[in-house]
Amino acid sequence: MAAVIRLSSVCRRGIKPLFYQSTLLVRPLAVPHKHQEQPYLLTARIHSSQNLQASSNSKAASLHWTAERMLSVLLLAMGPVAYFNPGPVIDYSLAAALTLHGHWGLGQVLTDYVHGDTKIKMANAALFLLSTITFTGLCYFNYNDVGICKAVALLWSK
Amino acid sequence: MALLLRTLGRQSVCLAKPQYSVLYRHVAPMGSTAKEEMNKFWDKNSRLNRPMSPHITIYKWSVPMMMSITHRGTGVGLSGAISAFAVAALVLPGSYPYYLDLIHSLSIGPFLTGLAKFGIAFPVSYHTYNGIRHLGWDMGKGFKIPEVYRTGYTVIGLSVITSIALLMI
């Protein structure tokens, strides 16, 4: 194919002799078929990331990634709000945002280090339980006790 | 074909231009997702009981590497602390001011109190500032190696300064 000839002119560093051998092998052959009008090119299997949705059309992972970043920005904004406008609204919002940010963050840690279908399932179940308990505890604290903002203020005044 | 595409890409040739589409007119995508491929890797290697190659024990540690694992460490630590606090809130009988007074009555002394405050303030500061650095990367900014180091040292400096400032108030 013309592209092979272009290869040698494009490459400034020079190709090792071995490469020349392999490109010659790679050059698609014009398959000699007696009544073929047009030689067809042999196809190559290439990992083309755009077409991966051929096997799984789910955008779930990508959307999850975006949601994680949006939550991070939201949590960042809650800091100053909690400082200047403490109260029950920000207390419960912080409880939710902190728990979810932690849940998703620990989820990534598990994905990185835990392998094997059963182990992954068990680890994620345990994480879900932990996050549920965490959120419950924080809401309980907000309702029955001083609340997150006041707690931080009291802790720091000591 | 893959060799050709790789070589051209390495030369920073823009393969998206129409004249290059002839190179991948006949390519076929792989039939599996990245997740499936990763699972296959782990299944095969744990089935064959293969030991893991040394990696973090032999590779030279760099500042970006250490900052990355510290970000993860502070994240896990802070999450654990929040969860512990939540469980304590559910389990312990007294109220928060009661337990604060209890700790206060132990007369811990200013140095240890300061140390404890720093122990809380530093992970929060570091994780926050480095988190902002991560969000910059997520927007595609700051990937050049000098930038990585510059932003990295900024995060460390800001974290220390913020933590000390928080100690003072």
What HEC string does chain A produce? CHHHHHHHHHCCCCCCHHHHHHHHHHCCCCCCCCCCCCCCCCCCECCCHHHHHHCCCCCHHHHHHHHHHHHHHHHHHHHHHHHHCCCHHHHHHHHHHHHHHHHHHHHHHHHHHCCCHHHHHHHHHHHHHHHHHHHHHHHHHHHHCCCHHHHHHHHHHC
Give me the residue label for tokens 């109220």.
Answer: B95
Give the model's pLDDT for residue A34: 54
B162 interfacial to chain A (CB closer than 8 Å):
no
Helix (H, G, I), strand (E, B) or coil at B109: coil
- What is the span of the domain harbouring residue A33? 2-47
CA–CA separation, A95 and A81 (whole Å): 14
Does residue A29 share a domain with residue A78? no
Q: Based on the domain organization, do A115 and A94 belong to the same domain?
A: yes
Query: For residue A26, what pLDDT is reported?
Result: 45
Question: What does the pLDDT read at residue A125?
Answer: 98
Specify if A80 maps to a domain. yes
| Residues in chain B where the model's pLDDT stays below 50 | none
pLDDT of residue A31 exceeding 70, the answer is no
Classify residue A82: in a domain, yes or no: yes
Same domain, A20 and A65: no
- Give me the DSSP letters along B2-68: HHHHHHHHHTT--TTSGGGGGGGTT-B--SS-HHHHHHHHHHHHHHTTPPPPP-TTTSPP-HHHHHH
Identify the pLDDT of residue A20: 46
Least Cα distance to B28 among A41, A52, A45, A27 occurs for A45
A52 part of a folded domain: no
Top-confidence range, A4-8, A20-24, A136-140: A136-140
At residue B89, the 3 state secondary structure works out as helix
Higher per-residue pLDDT: B17 or A41: B17
Q: Are residues A146 and A111 in the same domain?
A: yes
- Please, are residues A112 and B76 in contact by the beta-carbon 8 Å criterion? no
- Contact list in B for residue A158 (CB cut-off 8 A) is 100, 103-104, 113
Tell me how close the Cα of B146 comes to any Cα of chain A, in angstroms. 25
Could you tell me which of B131, B106, B100, B103 has the C-alpha nearest to residue A153? B100
A95, A115: one domain: yes
Q: In whole angstroms, give the CA distance from residue A149 to residue A142.
A: 9
- Higher per-residue confidence, A32 vs B107: B107
Q: What is the spatial distance between Cα A124 and Cα A114, in angstroms, rounded to a whole number?
A: 10
Interface test mutation site (partner A, options B20, B21, B47, B96, max chain A beta carbons within 10 A): B96
Amino acid of residue A55: S
Look up residue A155 and give its two tokens. 């802790």
Å between A40 CA and nearest CA of chain B? 10
Architecture of domain B67-166: Up-down Bundle (1.20)
Spacing of C-alpha A131 from chain mean position: 20
In single-letter form, the type of residue at position B118 comes to F
Q: Are residues A24 and A73 in the same domain?
A: no
Is the same domain home to A17 and A85? no
- Chain B residue whose CA is closest to A75: B128
Q: Does A75 share its domain with A137?
A: yes
Residue A36 to chain B, least CA–CA distance (Å) = 18
Are A41 and A108 within one domain?
A: no
**Distance between A34 CA and the closest CA of chain B, angstroms:** 23
Rounded to the nearest integer, the mean pLDDT of chain A is: 79
A69 with A10, same domain: the answer is no
Domain ranges of chain B: 67-166
Q: Does residue A53 form part of some domain?
A: no
A101 known member of a binding site:
yes
In a domain, A84, yes or no: yes
Percentage of residues of chain A with pLDDT beyond 70: 65
A151 and A95 share one domain = yes
Residues 46-65 of A with CB under 8 A from B: 46-48, 51-52, 54-56
HSE-up (13 A, CA, CB side) for residue B108? 14
B138 and A69: CB-CB below 8 Å?
Answer: yes
Residue A53 to residue B31: CA distance in whole angstroms:
9
- How much helix, strand and coil, in percent to the nearest 5, is found in chain B? 70, 0, 25
B21 contacts chain A (CB < 8 A): no
Residues 6+ away with beta carbon under 8 Å from B7: A7, A10, A11
Instruction: Say if A77 falls within a structural domain.
Output: yes
What pTM, to 2 d.p., does this model score?
0.76
**What mean pLDDT comes out for the span A84-102?**
97
Residue A104 has pLDDT above 50, yes or no: yes
Same domain for A131 and A84, yes or no, is yes
Taking CB atoms and an 8 Å limit, are A109 and B83 in contact across chains?
A: no
ipTM higher than the 0.85 cut: no
- From chain A, the residues in CB contact with B134 under 8 A are 72
Of the two residues A14 and A110, the one the predictor is more confident about is: A110
Per-residue pLDDT band for A14 (boundaries 50, 70, 90) equals very low
> Which residues does chain B have within 8 Å of residue A51's beta carbon, measured at their own beta carbons?
29
Note the pLDDT of residue A23: 44
Count of domains for chain A: 2
